[in-house]
Each structure stands twice: as structure tokens, then as C-alpha cells.
Structure 1
């Protein structure tokens, strides 16, 4: 195990044993049944990609019910609990052009009519340190579940989270199975072993920083850093500065997103970083971002056997602007209609332009994306918290990039109707 992982695990154990200066989460436990929660999210999803230059279009529509039931913790010095998570889905229509990681496919390429997935967890807590083992949806910058499809990606393993020191959150875990959104087998992505560790620290209400690491066996080692600072200004406005970046090194013999390098190369590496500044005033938010990738291969997320979401960078929509040597800039505008008498309605529009992409035939390939999203969430009444989200991307790139690495020119629609129901 790398030294960084050993150090993090040691700190987690030590932190669980020391007396802290603020309230213990476990001391406030009400009981196994008393703190139990159960809910179901009904989602109708539609994802369509109109691909240009002769590429086959893909389109999927389906309905799902995602269930989550979890007990509270038993009372005492050490609390214990259990939980289950899962989804049951069926396709809407024939789905003859299914794809996009929305619906599982049979060996002949036809879409499943219906399918179900899920698993359970056991959990324990002492003071402000929690350990969970079983099927989980992860939200870690180096190992993130894909939640941008009909149903989430599931990982199976153990995750420890400790908040013993005020403002500091430590994380360590190990996962051995990965089930992507469109897979029915529990380890469809054939994850060997992924060890994660990290820390987040809130210095004050303005400044936050974090670091996370990943060692994915026979694949790669990855490190992530982030710093975020919010500066309050006059007239209910603010400026937010954010820096984030990844460093990745591939194991010898592992696959990597570079047709220029032999697959047995042992020196593949990538650095990708981004800086953004956002101005917020009332209902309006404007963000500018610059992102750059360096190294002898591009940033790749699927190669460590996860579902394409572990890239916590600003220039990430349909494309992630993560090609080898790529530079990209973004301008984004968001509007909250609550200030105009329509609470729950929001709109985001962004344009991203990337250049200097190094491909097999061109060292200055380009790509661009125009992104738009409108979302409305019901604020009260019997349908409270139900939401409708419409997202559209207009993506274009050079043939050199499309042929060597990526998708062709594409117009994409995503439509999600979410209806949450709480049992208890």
C-alpha cells in the first residue's frame, strides 16, 4: 500500500479515538428505527445523439424507480446500521438505436425490455467517524459514480469518512467491483482493485481546499487537488476563484488514450488543470474558465474502470476538453428566475472552445461546444421537489480529433423528469 494511503488510514483510526471539541454525531443517534429513512425516485429519461459525418445516431428512452432505504444507527459508543439501494427499469418504445450508456444491451445489440440492479450496505459509526461496506454511489473526484444517465453507477467496497477535527474531513476506501449505469452484472466494468484516500479542509467561510488520491491496480495512479476562495463584494455580489487539477501516471502495460504510444509504454503521464473565476450578483452568475492538458497522453477516466464522471473540472459538459496537449476556454452564464417571481426555475448557457489538440495527424486540432440547460423544480404542493430538466449540446470538432480519439460532430438532447417520493 502506498505511504499516503497508510498515513491517511492511520489518521482515520487515531481521529476516531480522540476527544474532539465539538458534538459527536454518534452521541446524537436516536436509534436503528427512529433515524431510518426511505425514498424512491421515479425518473423518466430520454437521451438522443444526432451524429454527423455518417456516424450512426443513438437514442434511448426509459423509466426507472430508484429505491434507497437506510436504517439509523443503534445507540451506544459504536453504532451499527444497514441499508439497501437499487433500481428497477423498463424501456419506453422499441429503442432500436439504444446506446449512450442508458439501457443494457443484449449480445445482438438489442435493448433490454426491463432490468433491475442493486445491493446492500452495512455501516458502523464511532464518534464522527463512519465506515460503510457494500454497494455505494461515490462522489469522489478520483472515483465518481456516473449519475448523468438513467440510473447511477454502483461501486462495491468499503469507505471510511472521518470528521473528528472541526473543518477537516478525511476519506479512505477500497473498491473491488464497478457496475456502470447500463450494466446488469455487478462487476461489468471488471474493476480489479481501486484504493482511494483524501482530505477536505474548510479554513473559513471563504476558503476551502482538498486533495484526493487513487491507486487503481494494473491501470493508473491519480492525484487531485482543489482550492476554492469566495470574496464577498458590495451590493449582494461576490467573486469566486477556483483552481483544480489532476496528475495521472499509467501502470506499465495499461491502456491509455494515445494512438501515438505503444500500449506497453511505461512512462505515460498526464497533467490537466483549470482555473475559473465567477462573478455572482443577485440572480446572475458569470464564469470564465481556462483549462489545459499536458503530458504524452490525454486525461482519461474510463481507463481506471469507472463510468466517465471522475473529472471534476469546469470545462466538462458533453465533451470534457481533455485531449492531449489541449487548451480550452469557457464563458458561462446562469440565471435564477426566483428573483423574477419564478422560484425553482434556472437557466445555464455556456460556450467552450478547445485548441492545440495533439492527434495522430494534426497537432492543432480543435473542438467546441455550445451548452444550454433549463431546469424547473416544483417548490410546494403535492408535487413538491419534482423536477424537469432539459439539456442541449451542440458539439463540433476537427476530423483529425473525431477520427483519432473522439465522437463526431453531435447534437445531443437530454430530458429528465424526476419525481421523488419519501416513505419515511
Structure 2
């Protein structure tokens, strides 16, 4: 089960959440022209634009399983179980970034050190750590550890940047995930080109991922598969804004010997949120097996459609999602490459699953308390059917072993959240976020029945 930041931070009511606008959204056509300025021509220099800063995050989570579900851990050579798991970690990022050198070709470097300090070190509490607390082979917490989270060199010509090394990357298929004390990052080469006014291009080739709760680099694997690994992920895409009110993106990715995956996303805004605004979000993924078919045979079409109504401080969102395929809709582990509207504590991505979500959010800035927000949501999934899955490609172990028992499974999820961001003072932009989520699944639904309370405080800081 993937605990998505979009749910547990409870801000992604859908892949697109309506926000307040002072004026009606314009439906004007946006012509494609060359960018008016060159970012490289405005470079200040390698030393002159140097920055040193970062963030520190206090990340606390308490989970409870019910309906017979338990967590397990080892003690004195015996396996012990109970319903609860607690993880409490302080994650700090110290980022040093130079400016771009001046000239036709600018050069820049970026290095970020990630440090984790474990505040709850009880073996019984952390239950082996999972992807929350780093633990050794005996299940004991590693009290404190550090690593290079980012280490790259960047080259820029005009408005096009090439980055080589350990880096962040964001797209609908390969995306850094930051819903733990520390985020993930990727090792490889990427580019970002913004030479046109409303058209940009992105791409990259990555061979390793730096996980959220590990010191070393790892090969890529899928979120829901059988643990098989691959060491090459290639992706290429375009972002295009044909109207002032319409933004689109299209990305394709080849995950060597796993699959080819294609993503299309669109967001459209209509009306005036001070009166009534409508935000429509559409996300679509096509996944087909490729190469050695290490994940078995895959032919999967998955989409979500969300409609968000906004009136001043209030927003109400409805989202429908559907999986067309006899396997999970899957994506790469340690990435946030799932932009579906109903990716919550559960991803609602079972074979042939349909799901619906309704969510409400309020921004208290309209009532004189800027930075304070509340939200609540409810989602249900049904018609999960894995009985037709045969995609083992002749292997002894099925890629999605156990999915065949899912016949008419269903589940539901509820969540509430509150957040506050400081608006001024020495701790300006510090955020405090509290969320409570409850998920309840039928007998063979893969996510089970679990409750979680999470409290996260993030403090940014600047040294230079």
C-alpha cells in the first residue's frame, strides 16, 4: 500500500484542486512564440548568486490496523504482532546551490545533504521501519544517518538546462515524492527546455533512485509488483498551454523490461471563483508490457476526471476514476508518478476498479485568518476483479501474485485535515499539518483496514 502525500497531507482533493481567482478565467487562445527573455543572459555569476539554506521537518505518524489486521516485528528471534505502528523522525535538508556562470553556456552546481534523526527508536513501535524509519537487519532503528540527497552539475544555454547527477525531476510518470521526513531523488541525466512562451519540453534517463528512507542508491522497481528490479528509466514529454485557461501535458516513459507508459493530463478553468468557478481535471495513463516482460503481460488503461466548484473560501470537488485492465495500475516505487484524482491512502488502482470521491475544503483567509485551511473527503471503490489475470509470462511466480482472489472487492476511505502556514516573522512559511485518515477494505482488497494520524511540521531556513 502506498501512503500518498496527496491524501495524508490531504491537499490533493483531486489531481487539480480549484483555487480562488480575482477575475474570471480567460478563454483566450495563447499563440506560440519564442520566449521574450533568455534566463542565461540574466545570470549573475557562480559565486554572486550562491545560496545556502534548506528545511527541517518533524514527521510523526501513528497507525492502527483493525478487522484482524496486524503489524509484525522480531524480538528475541520470535515474530510478534500487534495492531499499532508509530514512526517519528526529524528530517533536515541543507542545500548549497551556486548561481550560473555568465556567458553563452552557464554552469551551476547543486549539493544537498539529507540527515535523519530518529525520535522514536522502539523496535516495537517502528515495526521494522518499512519506508518510514531506517532500520537494520535486526529491525532496530538507525538512530541517525546522512547521505547526499542531491549532487549535480547543470549546464544552461538560453532557456534550456541540462542536469547530470543526483537530482529532482517532476512529471506525470517520474516524479520526486516528498511525503516522508525526507524526499526521494534520482540519479541520471535530464533536460528542461522553455524556449517558447507556452510550450516546454522535459526528458531524462535515470538508472538509480535515492529512496526516502535509505542511505544507498537502489535500482527501480514497481509499487505493486513482485520486487523485480530494473536499472534504466527513460522519459520524454511536453507541457503545452493552448488557452489561458487550459494547460496540458503529455509524457511517455520506457521502463526497461517492465513497460512502456504514456500519460496525458489536462486542466481547464472556467468562471470567477468569487462568484462560482469550475476547475476540470483529466488524467489518463496507458501501460503496456515491454522487452523481457519482467512484470508479466500488461495492457492497462486508467483515467480520472475531477470537477471542482469554488465559491470564495469554499471548494467542492467530485472525482471519478476507472481502471481498465486485469492487473493493478502500477507505477515506479519511490516516485509520485501517479497523478490520478483518487490516489489517496489507497491508490484506488485495483484491477478493473471504479471509484468516486467527494471532497470539501475551506480557506480561512477569506475570513481573516490567512494560512489556515481545513478539508475533508470521502472515497469509495468497487467492482475490483482480478480473476481474469494471467499475466505471469510463464514464470513460476505471478508479477501481481494474489490478485486472482480479488473478485468483487470494495473499499472506502475518509479523511480530514487542517494546516497552517505562518505568514510573517522569522519562521515565515513554516507549515504545520495534521491529518486523520481511515481506510476500510473488504476481505481480499489489498490495502486492508487501517487508521492513521499524522502530524508534520516543516520549517524552511536561509543561511546565505
TM (normalized to structure 1)?
A: 0.88
Q: Which moved more, 1:391-400 or 1:360-369?
A: 360-369
> What residue ranges of structure 2 are gaps of 5+ in the alignment?
1-32, 72-83, 221-228, 387-403
Partner SS, residue 364 of structure 1: strand
Q: Does 1:367 align with 2:382?
A: no
The corresponding residue for 1:37 is 51
Equivalent residue for 2:62, pick from 45, 48, 51: 48
- CA displacement 1:253-280 (0-9 Å, x = unmatched): 5454xxxxxxxx4x32211101111011
Find the aligned partners of 1:42 and 1:72 in 2 and give their Cα distance: 23
Equivalent residue for 2:436, pick from 382, 386, 392: 392
Per-residue deviation, 1:252 = 5.6
Equivalent residue for 1:281, pick from 311, 316, 319: 311
Find the aligned partners of 2:351 and 2:238 in 1 and give their Cα distance: 29
The higher relative CO (CA closer than 8 Å, separation ≥ 6) is in 2
> What residue ranges of structure 1 are gaps of 5+ in the alignment?
1-18, 257-264
Q: Which moved more, 1:306-315 or 1:384-393?
A: 306-315
Find the aligned partners of 2:161 and 2:283 in 1 and give their Cα distance: 27
Contact 1:137–1:152 (CA under 8 A) maintained in structure 2: no
Match runs of 1:329-348 below 5 Å: 329-348=356-375
Partner SS, residue 407 of structure 2: coil
Partner SS, residue 296 of structure 1: coil
The corresponding residue for 1:65 is 92
- CA displacement 1:265-319 (0-9 Å, x = unmatched): 4x322111011110111111111010000112111124xxx31521111111111
Partner SS, residue 338 of structure 1: helix
Match runs of 1:297-336 below 5 Å: 297-302=327-332, 306-336=333-363
Find the aligned partners of 1:229 and 1:376 in 2 and give their Cα distance: 28
Per-residue deviation, 1:100 = 4.4
- CA displacement 1:77-97 (0-9 Å, x = unmatched): 111111102211110032323
Q: Does 1:216 align with 2:260?
A: no
Find the aligned partners of 1:139 and 1:414 in 2 and give their Cα distance: 25
TM (normalized to structure 2)?
A: 0.81
Per-residue deviation, 1:391 = 1.4
Q: Which moved more, 1:143-152 or 1:19-28?
A: 19-28
Partner SS, residue 444 of structure 2: helix
The corresponding residue for 1:149 is 180
- In structure 2, relative to structure 1, the CA distance for the partners of 1:233 and 1:90 (3 Å cut) is closer
- In structure 2, relative to structure 1, the CA distance for the partners of 1:419 and 1:151 (3 Å cut) is same
Per-residue deviation, 1:38 = 2.1
Q: Does 1:350 align with 2:377?
A: yes
- CA displacement 1:176-197 (0-9 Å, x = unmatched): 1112111111226565011010
The corresponding residue for 2:144 is 114
Q: Does 1:132 align with 2:176?
A: no
Partner SS, residue 213 of structure 2: coil
- In structure 2, relative to structure 1, the CA distance for the partners of 1:341 and 1:373 (3 Å cut) is same
Find the aligned partners of 1:329 and 1:222 in 2 and give their Cα distance: 24
Find the aligned partners of 1:222 and 1:372 in 2 and give their Cα distance: 33
Q: Does 1:246 align with 2:290?
A: no
